[in-house]
Every structure is written in structure tokens, then in C-alpha cells.
């Protein structure tokens, strides 16, 4: 291979690697602020045709779910996250792996889930679940900045 054909390959490889996220960049706490599935609920006939009390109750439950969903990534490829089981908020632990295509794999017991990181910066994380389920829409997280004590 001559040097003229090598240069474009090196440049392309440099730009492709720039977008590769390192697992350490995820370390910290992330708050769910938006989920496509919630918007589908808000636009559904059941929600739109509900009386105001039912809509208010549903809005409260949606907001509670958003505010209660936190992912905490830490060393050792660990993930702690809140989830709902039988309408109860529970803390779960899992192992994670991030590949060179920015596919995040979450191993929780016998369950394995995957999501593509489609957008990322220091304060925003957007996951697109890889699933056969049509309701698996994008999840948008914002980094929780811990206040330092004096």
C-alpha cells in the first residue's frame, strides 16, 4: 500500500474512533428526563379521552417514574439503577459492557439487554434500546451533578 492510499484510511480511522465512548465517561449518576414511550401514552386516545382527574393521575405517575429512574455507572463495569416491579420502586444491580460500536450491554441475572448510545456528551446520554418490542423508544438521561460539601 502506498502512502497516498494510507493517509485517507488513517484519517477515516481517526474520525471513527473519535465517536467511540469509553465506559469511564459514563461513570456517575444519570436521571431519565424523556422517554419516547411516555409521549406515545400522552398522545394515546385513552389518555386524551380521559377525564381531567385521570389525566392528572397519569401525569403524576409519569413524572414520578421519570424522577425515580436513575442509572449510576461505576468502576468494575457496575450499574445500579432504579426500576419498577409490581408498582414498587426497587434498586437493581447489573454488570455492563460497552463495545467499540457504542452498544451498551446490561447483564442483570439471566437477563441481557442492549442499547445503542446514539448521542453522548458530558451531560447528556441518549439510549436507543435494541429490541423486538415496538415500544422500546429512545431514553434521554441528564447527568446528575453532585454538589460538593464544604
pLDDT at residue 10, rounded to an integer: 46
The third-level CATH classification (topology) of the domain covering 3-37+69-144 is Lipocalin (2.40.128)
Distance separating alpha carbons of residues 68 and 21, to the nearest angstrom: 26
- Give the mean model confidence (pLDDT) for residues 112-140: 89
User: Each residue of 71-102: pLDDT tens digit?
Assistant: 999 998 999 998 888 878 889 999 999 999 99
Domain boundaries, the chain: 3-37+69-144
What whole-number distance in Å separates Cα of residue 6 and Cα of residue 118? 29
Which three-class secondary structure state does DSSP give residue 69? coil
**The pLDDT of residue 27:** 95
Bridge partners of 80?
72, 93
For the segment 111-134, the average pLDDT, to the nearest whole number, is 90
pLDDT of residue 31: 94
| Angstrom distance (rounded) from CA 57 to CA 67 | 15
What are residue 125's DSSP bridge partners? 120, 141
Look at 20 and 130; give whichever has higher pLDDT: 130
The span from the CA of 112 to the CA of 103, in Å, is: 12
Summarize pLDDT for 23-65 with one digit per residue, the tens: 999 999 999 999 888 888 888 899 899 999 999 998 998 888 8
Q: Using CA atoms, how far apart are residues 117 and 113, in angstroms rounded to an integer?
A: 13
Q: What is the number of residues in the chain?
A: 150
CA distances (Å), origin 133, targets 13, 20, 76: 34, 27, 30
Cα distance from N-terminal residue to C-terminal residue, the chain: 59
Q: What is the distance between the alpha carbons of residues 94 and 73, in angstroms, rounded to a whole number?
A: 10
* Torsion angle, alpha carbons of 27, 137, 83, 118, to 10: -10
Amino acid at each position: 500500500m502506498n502512502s497516498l492510499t494510507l493517509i485517507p484510511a488513517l484519517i477515516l480511522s481517526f474520525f471513527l474512533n473519535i465517536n467511540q465512548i469509553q465506559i469511564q465517561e459514563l461513570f456517575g449518576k444519570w436521571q431519565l428526563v424523556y422517554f419516547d414511550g411516555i409521549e406515545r401514552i400522552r398522545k394515546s386516545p385513552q389518555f386524551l379521552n380521559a377525564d381531567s382527574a385521570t389525566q392528572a393521575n397519569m401525569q403524576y405517575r409519569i413524572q414520578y417514574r421519570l424522577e425515580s429512574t436513575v442509572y449510576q455507572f461505576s468502576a468494575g463495569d457496575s450499574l445500579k439503577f432504579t426500576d419498577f416491579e409490581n408498582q414498587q420502586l426497587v434498586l437493581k444491580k447489573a454488570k455492563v459492557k460497552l463495545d467499540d460500536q457504542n452498544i451498551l450491554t446490561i447483564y442483570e441475572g439471566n437477563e441481557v439487554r442492549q442499547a445503542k448510545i446514539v448521542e453522548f456528551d458530558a451531560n447528556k446520554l441518549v439510549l436507543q434500546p435494541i429490541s423486538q418490542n415496538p415500544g422500546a423508544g429512545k431514553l434521554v438521561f441528564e447527568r446528575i451533578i453532585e454538589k460538593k460539601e464544604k
